[in-house]
Amino acid sequence: MSEYDVEQVTPYKGLRYKKRTMKVDAEDEARLMGLCGIDPAVFRGCADPSAFISFAIREGDRNGISSNGGVNMVQGLVQSRPLRLDETITVTGEILDVQQSPRGRVTTSETWYHGENGELGITSKRTSLKTDPTQYADPKLRGAGERPAPVVADPSKLRAFGRFTLTPADVVAYGRDTTNPIHTHEDAAKRAGYRAPIIGGGQGVRFLTAALWKEFAPKAVDMDIYFRRPLFWDDSFDIMVEETGGKWTAMCLAKDGKVATEMRINALTA
């Protein structure tokens, strides 16, 4: 029996996660970054904030909120201070809102990660869509709540920082511990309405944070991330950066000239 084999619950506003402690697995982090072509040394012995996207999803699973069939829509990440890879971290969390939409249930949650000194390190705020994993999605259904305004209007006007091509083998290897088979199994992806498995939101954001940390190695950062289009396990995409007055204000992953994942950089302290 794994730590995720718990009684399933229907999320509701105000549901609180059980407090626990954890450490980031440095070896597994290096493995995951390697599958994305990222050098772990970029983060200088500290955790990549994008890892806490997946950690927060798994925290929901530990508390009975199944991620099976779930898709990221909007993600907020705030690093108040870096969390070291060898640090004991205290985790808490709460469901902030639950709404029904034509495509399924939309849940907003927030998970907090405090360091050994009691200071808040990372806040992960996530809004996700949950479809029924036992049914094939109706392609005619549209709508999953209010759609936030675009951050990047035209990716072609941004500076190219790099390009990456996904492979099914690497995406499956990245998702070997996932509790959501839409990232690793074709039939599960098709039931959710996708032509093939899609990468998890956290995997895509790794390319953005790696570029940001390579340039600035920030001590504190506030980011809002929007998942506009899926990235399939065989897609190629460009990593793009928007600069204003010498500062990075936005980033995106662009596929075929269109935004797939985009990030607004609200604040950054190097």
Read off the pLDDT of residues 227-257 as tens digits, 9 standing for 90 and up: 999 999 999 999 999 998 889 999 999 999 9
Cα-Cα-Cα-Cα dihedral sign, residues 228, 231, 235, 236: positive
As a whole number of angstroms, the distance between CA 145 and CA 134 comes to 22
As a whole number of angstroms, the distance between CA 82 and CA 47 comes to 7
Q: How far is CA 31 from CA 1, 81, 118, 175, in A?
A: 25, 24, 29, 11
Whether 143 has a pLDDT exceeding 50, the answer reads no
Per-residue pLDDT averaged across 41-68, rounded? 94
Band the pLDDT of 102: cuts 50, 70, 90: confident
Q: Which of 59, 32, 37, 60 is nearest to 48 (CA)?
A: 32
Element (H, E) at 51: helix 51-62
Element (H, E) at 264: strand 258-269
Band the pLDDT of 68: cuts 50, 70, 90: confident
Helices 51-62 and 201-216 sit at what angle, rounded to 10 degrees?
140
Report the 10 Å Cβ neighbour count for 21.
Answer: 10
Band the pLDDT of 140: cuts 50, 70, 90: low
The structure tokens listed for 118 are 């009691």
pLDDT given at position 23: 97
Whether 54 has a pLDDT exceeding 50, the answer reads yes
Cα-Cα-Cα-Cα dihedral sign, residues 249, 208, 50, 43: negative
| Domains along the sequence of the chain with CATH | 20-269 (3.10.129.10)
As a whole number of angstroms, the distance between CA 180 and CA 195 comes to 16
Whether 141 has a pLDDT exceeding 60, the answer reads no
Q: How far is CA 37 from CA 51, 207, 243, in A?
A: 15, 9, 24
Whether 145 has a pLDDT exceeding 60, the answer reads no
Report the 10 Å Cβ neighbour count for 107.
Answer: 24
Q: Mean pLDDT, the chain, as a whole number?
A: 91
| 3-state secondary structure (DSSP) of residue 213 | helix
The structure tokens listed for 29 are 């982090």
